[in-house]
Every structure is written in structure tokens, then in C-alpha cells.
Structure 1
Amino acid sequence: MDWSSIGGLVVALGGIFLGQVLEGGHLGSILQPTAFLIVFAGTLGAVLLQTRLDNFIRGVQLLAHVFSPPVHSHSQLIENISVWSTVSRREGLLHLEEHMNDSSDPFIKKGLRLLIDGITPAKLKEILDIDTGVYETQQRQAMKIWEAAGGYSPTIGILGAVLGLIHVMENLSDPAKLGGGIAVAFVATIYGVGLANLFFLPVSNKLKELLAAEVNRRDMVADGLFGIASGDNPRVIQERAESYFTTS
């Protein structure tokens, strides 16, 4: 569980609601179902219009990673690469088959299979790099829905405000209906800007950060397998793998 994501969302919403109360306002005044429907449905429709359905579905599924990102132990992965290099050097590449079967990571299984098959180091690296590139492209296409939503929702919020003002102008002769129309107008703008800057755009940026970390992890695995295929010293392979996660 990523508590920073959960904590950030709670702090952001809590600050807005608390500020509203401290200013003497009521929470009910910013909880307008009509305004929310206009902003949410309008944004959803715009995103669906620009996105293929499979990318949209995959993008929605990625939301779970923001609050519960995949867990990878870098130290364990480096240790595994060190073990693979030692086994291949002492016992031969065929003895890596057991390690391949024990792995649950499709990318690692693919790399070890190519290594066991005796493919040349350059070809192995090329195939794994292509695999990573395709993966990155697919993920970026999917996560674009959040960035797009962050761009559309403020404008849809303004659209909701205009609709509310139209309602107000149509009922100038009936003061009892003016308050509801004005509330929808202003609250729709709040929802549009708030959803964009407190949810959609932060989710997009968090997913980009997680993708960068995953691509870095895959690059490290590919580099380690390339070193094994090239017959590099296990210690050199381990040092190179550790450099991928060195922090200054």
C-alpha cells in the first residue's frame, strides 16, 4: 500500500473541506450531484472519444497501482542476477532452466529462456529492448487517459458553470430558483479544477513515475542477462546491476 498517495488525497480533500467550514460555509453547499454529473460525465465522454477502448480499460486498471504499486525487491533481483551469472559460469547455461521455472516475472522468464537457448548476446539484448519498448509504449498510451482527463475537466467545469448561469437567467423572475442555479454554476467550476489538479493530473504523474521505475528495472535485467551471455565476470555483472539503483 502506498500511504503517500492515500495521505496526499486525504490531506488535499481534508484541507478543502476544513477551509470551507472555517470560512463559515456548509459542506452541503459544495456537494452538488448535478455539478458533479456534468463534470464527470462530460470528462468521461471526452476521454472515451479520444481513446481506444482497450487503452481506456487498461488505463483505468492502472489506477490500482497508484495506491497499491507492484512491489519489487531491488536487492533480491540483484542477488538473483548474481546467482544466475555464477551458475552459468560454473555449471553452464542449461542449469538456469530451474531458475527460469521458479520465476513468476514473464520478462525474466523470457530473458532466461533466450539465454538458455544460446542466442547471441547482441540479439538477446535487442529482443529484450524491443519488448521493453513495446511495453512502455502500451503503458503510456493507457495512462494518457488521466492526463487527458486533467485537461478536459476544467473546461467541462466551465461548461457546467455556463449551464448553471443559463438556468439562472431563465428564472430571474423566480428568486426561489436562483440559488440552485448559481450553486451549480460555481460548484461545477470547483469540481472541474479540483478533479484535474487534485486527482487526474497527480494520478497521471504517479503512473509515469512507476513506469520509469519499471523500465529501469527491465533495463537492468536485460543488461545483466547480456553480461551473462557475453561471459562477463559475475562480480562485474553484479556491480553493474547495483549501479541502476544507486542513489546519490
Structure 2
Amino acid sequence: MDIATILGLILGFGLILVSIAMGGGGLGPFIDIPSGMIVFGGAIAASLINFPLKNNLGAFGVIMKCFLFKLPDAADTIAQFKQFAEIVRKDGLLALEDKVSEIKDDYMRRGMEALIGGASAEEISELLETELAYIQTRHVNGKKIIDSCGAAAPAFGMIGTLIGLVQMLRALDDPSKIGGGMATALLTTLYGALVANVVCIPLAGKLETRSMEETMIRELMIKGITLLGEGATPRAVGEQLLTFLAPKTRSSIEPKAA
């Protein structure tokens, strides 16, 4: 579970709620169902118009990666490949059959099974890179949907503001109706800003970061499997896989991967 995403959302909404409470009057004046319908319903409608239903439904699974998805640790993966290289060097590729069941990551396990099954390193690399390309496509589509909602929410907030102003101007002769029109006018703008800047834009940024992290670890796995297929030494495997990491993190990971 990604604690940072949860803490960020709690902190963002919490600070806003505390600020409202400190101003007096409670949350009641800031709750307006028509405003919520315009902003939330409008953002969902815009997404449904922009993207096929299948993409919209699939976006929920992608968004969950902001909260629940956990990638394999780079240091553990490098250490695992070095261990595999030692086994291959001593006993050959078939000796890895007993180790495949210990691999928790499905992507890496499929690649290792193909390698043990006799596929060449080039064939496995092409297979895994194709799968990675589709993973990246799903990430991009999910991010586009969130970006679309983030762009649409403030726009529908402005639409709600205009609706509220029209209602207010039409009711100038009836002071009792002016308050409702003004509330709709202001709260839709507020809701649109909250949806865009507290939810959609940050989640889209987190998805982009998650996609980059997953791409890196998947490419590391592809390289590791390729090196095993080529019969590289454990030392060569460790040194080449460490190049996927930033120089500042290598010094802390090298002892763990050694």
C-alpha cells in the first residue's frame, strides 16, 4: 500500500476541512448537491465522451496502482538474478526449475519459464518487451482519463458558476432566491478546483511515476533473463543490472545484491 498517496489525500482534504471549521459556520454552507452534480457528473460525462467505455472501466484498475500496487525491490531482484547466474554456471539452466516457483512476480516468472523451456534470449526479450509495451499503454490510457477529468472539473465548475449567476440575476426581484444562486455559483468553482488540484492532477502524477518505476524494473528483468540465457557470470550480471539504478543508490544496493 502506498502510504504517501493516502497521507497526501488525507492531508489535502484535512487542511481544507480544518480551515472551513476554523472560519465558523460548519460544513453545511459548503455542501450543495446541484454543484456536486455539475462538477462530478460533468467530469465523468466528459471522460465517457472522450474515451470508450472499456477504457473508462479499465481505468479503475490502473488508478488502484496509486494505492495498492507494490513493485519488486530492485536490490532483491538483482540479488536473485546473481543467485540464478551462479546456479546456471554450476548446473545449467534446467537447474533453475526448482527456483521458478519461488519467483513471486508473474512477469519475471513467465520470462524464466520461457528461458528454461528452451526459448532463446532474443525471443524472450521480444516477448517481454511486447508485454511491457502494452503495460505502458494501459498506464498512459489511465493517466489520460484522469487528466481528462482534471481538466473537465474546473471547466464544469465554471459552467456551474455561470448557471448560478444566471439564476441569481433572474431572481433579483426575490431576495430569498439570490442566496441559492450565489451558492451554486461559488461552490461549483470550489468543487471543480478541489477535484482537479487535490485528486486528479496529483493522482495522474503518481501514475506517471509508477509507470516509470515499473518500466525500469521490467527492463531490468528483461536484461537479467537475457544475461542468464547468454551464460553471463554472476559478477557480470550484477554489474550490468546495477546500471539501471541511479549512481547514488548503487552504493547502498551493492552490498545487498552482492
TM-score (norm 1): 0.92
Matches within 5 A, 1:135-146: 135-146=135-146
- Give CA-to-partner distance per residue, 1:174-209, whole Å, 9 cap, x none: 111110110111100011111101101101110111
Conserved 8 A contact 1:100-1:108: no
Conserved 8 A contact 1:59-1:144: no
Partners of 2:192 and 2:245 in 1: how far apart? 39
Partner SS, residue 101 of structure 2: helix
Q: Does 1:17 align with 2:12?
A: no
Aligned to 1:230: 230
Alpha-carbon offset, residue 22 of structure 1: 3.7
Matches within 5 A, 1:83-162: 83-162=83-162
How many residue pairs end up in the alignment?
248
Partners of 2:90 and 2:168 in 1: how far apart? 81
Gaps of 5+ in 1: none
Q: 1:188 to 1:146 in 2, by over 3 A?
A: same
Conserved 8 A contact 1:165-1:182: yes
Aligned to 1:203: 203
Partners of 2:60 and 2:193 in 1: how far apart? 20
Deviates more, 1:130-139 or 1:38-47: 130-139
Matches within 5 A, 1:35-54: 35-54=35-54
Alpha-carbon offset, residue 137 of structure 1: 1.1
Q: 1:247 to 1:33 in 2, by over 3 A?
A: farther
Partners of 1:203 and 1:30 in 2: how far apart? 24
Partners of 2:144 and 2:95 in 1: how far apart? 42
Conserved 8 A contact 2:132-2:218: yes
Alpha-carbon offset, residue 29 of structure 1: 1.8
Partner SS, residue 103 of structure 1: coil
Aligned to 2:252: none
State the superposition RMSD in angstroms. 1.8
Aligned to 1:72: 72
Conserved 8 A contact 2:72-2:105: no
Q: Does 1:176 align with 2:176?
A: yes
Amino acid at match of 1:37: M
Partners of 1:80 and 1:6 in 2: how far apart? 31
Partner SS, residue 14 of structure 1: helix
Partners of 1:129 and 1:72 in 2: how far apart? 18
Alpha-carbon offset, residue 62 of structure 1: 2.5
Conserved 8 A contact 2:161-2:186: yes
Alpha-carbon offset, residue 25 of structure 1: 5.2
Gaps of 5+ in 2: 249-258
Amino acid at match of 2:237: I
Alpha-carbon offset, residue 247 of structure 1: 5.0
Aligned to 1:5: 5
Conserved 8 A contact 1:160-1:184: yes
Alpha-carbon offset, residue 153 of structure 1: 0.6
- Give CA-to-partner distance per residue, 1:21-47, whole Å, 9 cap, x none: 444454222221221111000100110
- Give CA-to-partner distance per residue, 1:60-115, whole Å, 9 cap, x none: 12332222332423222222211221122211111222222333422112211221
Aligned to 2:60: 60
